[in-house]
Amino acid sequence: MTARLKSNSVGDSSAELATDALPVRRLGLGLMLALAAFIGAVVTANVVTSHMGLVPVGFGLLAPAGTYAAGAALLARDFVHKQGGRRWSLGAIGVAAILSWFMSTPEIAIASVAAFVVAELVDLCIFVAVRRRGFIRAAFTSNLISAPLDTFVFLTIAGFPLTVDTMLGQIVGKLLWATALPLAIYALVRWTWQRRSVA
* Interval 109-128: pLDDT, tens: 999 989 988 887 887 788 87
- Spatial contact of 101 and 31, defined as CB atoms under 8 Å apart: no
Residues 6 or more apart whose Cβ sits within 8 Å of residue 91: none
pLDDT above 90 as % of the chain:
28
Range 160-179 average pLDDT:
84
The Cβ of residue 192 has, within 10 Å, a number of other Cβ atoms equal to 10
49 vs 21, more confident: 49
In DSSP terms, 49 is beta-bridged to none
Range 17-33 average pLDDT:
65
In DSSP terms, 58 is beta-bridged to 61
Terminal-residue alpha carbon distance, the chain: 9
- Spatial contact of 197 and 165, defined as CB atoms under 8 Å apart: no
CA torsion sign for 108, 111, 115, 118 is positive
